[in-house]
Amino acid sequence: QEAVLQVDHLKTYFHLEKGKTAKAVDDISFKVSPGETVALVGESGSGKSISALSIMQLINKPGRIEGGTIRLNGEDITKYNTKQMTKIRGNEIAMIFQEPMTALNPVFTIGNQIMEIVRKHKKMNKQEAYEHAVHLLKLVGLSRAEELMKEYPHQLSGGMRQRVMIAMAISCDPKLLIADEPTTALDVTIQAQILDVMNEMKERFHMALLLITHDVGVVSQYADRVIVMYGGQIVEAATTEELLNSPKHPYTKGLLGSLPMVDKHVKRLETIKGTVPPAYDFPSGCRFSTRCPHVMDKCFAENPCLTNVAVEHDVRCHLFTQEVKE
Ligand code: SF4
Ligand code: MG
């Protein structure tokens, strides 16, 4: 099955003052297939959001896509101009953000906004667009759809707003849906409902879903595959089952240990101490060396390569590259 999204060697750098370069995304490769959910996991500052914005080509100065390709159904969209990209966004790729209030216009009704999107992407008259909008709102579980059409964003709860965002996202039948911490701003009980709706829509429309989260609990429930990012790089990638049952990278183990309700076979580790180093000041050698409980001399000298350790399981850590070589 051909991937909807195929990212190869993507690099997104920010050129800061005094000649500093922040390597926010530094040579990452992955793909997402139709109907599949891939989770990008890591603490804030690990490069997850910049990866998503790079795919959408919403990187602004001093940031720049420095290298690599982003293929959507086989087409390299890094070569697209602004006009071509505008057509792709919200059409082939839709994105859902953490805080829906900022994505909705406060001065227009929900109906106005959703109908505008529908009419932009589908050849429908006003009446048809109205009916389609109501249909979409019902699809994402908003039962008072007709009334909601007349309301303004501030009249809705955070969870309802996020449902509206999902309705808008699916209104143009995107092939790829990117959700960046879609439930972080919501109450825990509402979070699960929103993720369920998103998952339902993914299955119904056979979309590829790239789910960005720092929550391993979310990963275990919704993702087919997991990509763990640290310091702008992929440090571990595996199927969800493999990653939860057999995490290898010390950072992944730390993430799993620092979060509740993770799979019981996983031995708990202490919360990872320290913070992600800034992207303009990564340590030489392994980027996790400043926080790693297993750090060795070699780790300061050499950044390990991403190495295949099992079927569909890659790890970037000297502990495992050694094992493989011996
Ligand atoms: Fe830790 Fe070294 Fe592995 Fe980096 S390479 S994660 S510092 S053991
Ligand atoms: Mg982020």
pLDDT digits 0-9 by tens, 57-72: 999 999 999 999 999 9
Nearest alpha carbon to residue 33 among 2, 55, 8: 2
Give 128: exposed, middle or buried? Use CB within 10 Å, 0-12, 13-18, 19+. Answer: middle
- What is the token pair recorded at 203? 């299955």
- For residue 177, the CA-to-ligand 1 centroid distance in Å is 33
* Residue 55 contacts residue 5 (beta carbons within 8 Å): yes
Ligand with an atom nearest the CA of residue 179: 2
Of 234, 255, 296, 322, best ligand 1 pocket probe by most atoms within 8 Å of the beta carbon: 296
Q: What are phi and psi of 317, to 5 degrees?
A: -165, 135
Q: What mean pLDDT, rounded, does the chain reach?
A: 90
pLDDT tens, N- to C-terminus, the chain (326 residues) = 689 999 999 999 999 988 899 999 999 999 999 999 999 999 888 999 999 999 999 999 999 999 999 999 999 999 999 999 988 987 899 999 887 667 899 999 999 999 999 998 888 999 999 999 999 999 999 999 999 999 999 999 999 999 999 999 999 899 999 999 988 888 888 989 999 999 999 999 999 999 999 888 889 999 999 999 999 999 999 999 999 999 999 999 999 885 554 444 444 444 688 888 889 999 999 999 999 999 999 999 999 999 999 999 999 999 998 554 44
* Residue 277 contacts residue 289 (beta carbons within 8 Å): no
* Residue 106 contacts residue 153 (beta carbons within 8 Å): yes
Nearest alpha carbon to residue 13 among 65, 74, 86: 65
Atom of ligand 1 nearest to the CA of 293: 1
Beta strands 307-310 and 93-96 are: unpaired
- Strands in 208-213's sheet, in edge-to-edge order, are 93-96, 176-180, 208-213, 37-41, 225-230, 233-239, 313-315, 307-310
- Nearest-Å Rg of the Cα atoms of the chain is 21
Q: What was the pLDDT predicted at 263?
A: 45
* Predicted-complex ipTM score: 0.96
Ligand with an atom nearest the CA of residue 293: 1
pLDDT (tens digit per residue) in 156-175: 999 999 999 999 999 989 99
How far is residue 286's CA from residue 74's CA, in Å, rounded to a whole number?
33
Q: Tell me 303's DSSP state.
A: P
Nearest alpha carbon to residue 153 among 166, 145, 162, 144: 162
Of 252, 289, 298, 302, best ligand 1 pocket probe by most atoms within 8 Å of the beta carbon: 289
- For residue 326, the CA-to-ligand 1 centroid distance in Å is 18
- For residue 70, the CA-to-ligand 1 centroid distance in Å is 29
Q: What was the pLDDT predicted at 271?
A: 66
What's this model's pTM, rounded to 2 decimal places?
0.92
Q: Which residues have CB under 6 Å of ligand 1?
A: 250, 286, 288-289, 292, 294-296, 299, 304, 317-319
- For residue 283, the CA-to-ligand 1 centroid distance in Å is 12
Range list of H helices, the chain:
48-56, 82-88, 100-103, 110-121, 126-139, 145-149, 158-170, 188-205, 216-222, 240-245, 250-257, 297-301, 318-325
- For residue 59, the CA-to-ligand 2 centroid distance in Å is 14
- For residue 206, the CA-to-ligand 1 centroid distance in Å is 38
Structural domain boundaries in the chain:
104-173, 249-325
Take atom 6 of ligand 1 and give the residue whose Cα is closest.
317
